[in-house]
């Protein structure tokens, strides 16, 4: 049986070669593993339903495992000239087992087959992304712990705002990544529903076993609605959006690294293994990896835009447009995985310039909020206190004296921080920049990362179901 005959019984003429090339999807090679595993689960389900004999099922399963073993790592070669991975696997099976191989697709459509493969891929991809993101979060927490009392200026509008500890800045990025991890975990739970058995759109008149195949593949449940199950790509949108959000957070980190590594800031030095030189200027040490992370965020945003535009007008049921949801997904996953790995290495390799940070954080004007708070504690309404401190700032600049001198002259009884460390430690509310608050953040970080480690172990167990079906 030729590949064409798998679907073209009602046709009398072959597909135009140009149209065949246009409609093929060689990018499907990453789904090879999942297509074989899903086909094995489907064969077992057919046997349980009495549609395949036990011998037929065993022959199909053994042959599919042999196909996987032979072509694993050579997927591109296996798919050469084929329409897609799904047809390629079935064609090879039917060639090797012409009797029972032709029975495999009983009760199954490429619609629920593709949805299944994408979900199995997405589960593994999410697990990989969460692992990488958790490693980055751990690196940020470790860097914060190692630089607990290294003071630096905090910024708003890229202007000096209030002194902070570097650890507070690092943990701000850490908590963003932890939110990204929670988002990915939620996406995982929402996609972990098996579509196998939904058929093209309306299910089947055969006694299929969706609950059984869902269990074989470690899904939490089978689908509720066949029409929705075969065409659902919400999980693809969710994954690409989640990856895009994570990329935006990494881009923000990368931008700070680029700024801090300039001579003007001189806050951080990156290892030579993560920087490059100039082809003309021998002295240059460029933060190329940070710049590339910043730049490649555009790829993630582009994948999300392409995906949303693809899906915006598709009616209920499968349409071939959905083929175009694969590349944005694969590209987005590859992109964010690479970005996470490089950022983790930069965080681990960064060396911070304590003297430069302290000098930049020692502008007494940036302690003004603490002076306002002191006035408030003495009974002055906040808006009056804010206005008075604003006038004191203007006066100190006009007279060329420190803000502390001006305040002591205007308000002799009001204390004013004498150093950035004193300013930072005066802030003791939850999540603030004092050392005690940061220690509490680090403790909570450790607890959350332990929860994520447990989640990773559970998800790894579910992922192992694919390997078991493949005989690995």
* Residues with catalytic function: 157, 278
Q: How far is CA 70 from CA 32, 33, 63, 75, in A?
A: 12, 12, 10, 10
Phi, psi of 194 (to 5 degrees): -80, 130
Scanning the structure block, which residue is given the tokens 């965020």? 297
Instruction: Round to whole Å and give the CA distance between 434 and 431.
Output: 9
- Please work out, in degrees rounded to the nearest 5, the angle formed at the alpha carbon of residue 354 by the alpha carbons of 349 and 397: 135
Q: How far is CA 163 from CA 109, 186, 200, 261, 388, in A?
A: 61, 36, 61, 19, 21
Contact 258, 291 (CB under 8 A): yes
CB atoms within 10 A of CB 64: 28
Instruction: Round to whole Å and give the CA distance between 48 and 38.
Output: 15
Instruction: Please give the distance of CA 44 from its chain centroid, rounded to a whole number.
Output: 34
Find the helix packing angle between 382-399 and 368-377, rounded to 10°.
140
- Please work out, in degrees rounded to the nearest 5, the angle formed at the alpha carbon of residue 43 by the alpha carbons of 39 and 49: 140
Element of type H or E holding 442: helix 435-470
* DSSP type of residue 100: T
Start-to-end Cα distance in the chain:
30
96: CB partners within 8 A, 6+ apart: 63, 66, 67
Instruction: Round to whole Å and give the CA distance between 141 and 68.
Output: 41
CA proximity to 43, closest of 71, 66, 64: 64
- Bridge partners (DSSP) of residue 268 are 352
Q: To the nearest 10°, report the CA torsion of 240, 249, 186, 229.
A: -10
* DSSP type of residue 276: B
């Amino acid at each position: 049986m030729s590949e064409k005959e798998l679907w073209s019984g009602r046709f009398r003429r072959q597909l135009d070669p140009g149209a065949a090339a246009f409609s093929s999807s060689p990018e499907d090679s990453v789904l090879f593993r999942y297509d074989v595993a899903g086909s094995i689960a489907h064969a077992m389900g057919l046997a349980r339903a009495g549609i395949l004999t036990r011998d037929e099922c065993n022959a199909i399963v053994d042959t599919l495992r042999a196909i996987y073993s032979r072509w694993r790592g050579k997927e591109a070669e296996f798919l050469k000239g084929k329409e897609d991975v799904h047809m390629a696997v079935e064609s090879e099976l039917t060639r090797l087992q012409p009797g029972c191989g032709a029975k495999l697709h009983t009760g199954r459509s490429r619609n629920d087959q593709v949805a299944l493969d994408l979900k199995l891929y997405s589960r593994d991809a999410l697990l990989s992304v969460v692992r990488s993101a958790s490693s980055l979060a751990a690196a940020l927490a470790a860097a914060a712990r190692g630089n607990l009392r290294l003071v630096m200026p905090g910024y708003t509008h890229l202007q000096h705002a209030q002194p902070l500890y570097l650890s507070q800045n690092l943990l701000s990025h850490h908590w963003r990544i932890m939110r990204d991890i929670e988002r990915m975990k939620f996406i995982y739970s929402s996609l972990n529903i098996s579509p196998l058995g939904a058929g093209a759109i309306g299910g089947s008149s055969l006694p299929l076993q969706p609950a059984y195949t869902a269990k074989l593949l470690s899904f939490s449940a089978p689908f509720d609605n066949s029409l929705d199950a075969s065409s659902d790509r919400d999980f693809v949108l969710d994954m690409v959006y989640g990856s895009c959000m994570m990329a935006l957070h990494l881009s923000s980190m990368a931008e700070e690294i680029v700024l801090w590594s300039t001579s003007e800031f001189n806050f951080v030095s990156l290892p030579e293994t993560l920087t490059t030189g100039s082809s003309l200027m021998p002295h240059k040490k460029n933060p190329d990896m940070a710049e590339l992370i910043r730049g490649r965020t555009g790829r993630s945003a582009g994948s999300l835009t392409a995906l949303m535009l693809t899906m915006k007008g598709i009616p209920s049921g499968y349409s071939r447009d959905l083929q175009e949801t694969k590349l944005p997904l694969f590209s987005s996953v590859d992109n964010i995985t690479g970005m996470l790995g490089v950022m983790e290495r930069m965080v681990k390799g960064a060396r911070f310039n304590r003297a430069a940070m302290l000098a930049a954080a020692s502008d007494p004007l940036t302690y003004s909020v603490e002076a306002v708070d002191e006035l408030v504690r003495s009974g002055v309404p906040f808006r009056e206190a804010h206005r008075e401190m604003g006038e004191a700032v203007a006066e100190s600049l006009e007279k060329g004296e420190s803000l502390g001198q001006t305040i002591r002259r205007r308000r002799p009884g009001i204390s004013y921080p004498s150093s950035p460390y004193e300013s930072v430690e005066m802030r003791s509310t939850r999540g603030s920049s004092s050392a005690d608050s940061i220690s509490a953040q680090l403790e909570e970080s450790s607890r959350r990362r332990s929860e994520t480690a447990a989640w990773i172990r559970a998800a790894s167990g579910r992922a192992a179901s694919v390997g078991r079906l493949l005989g690995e």
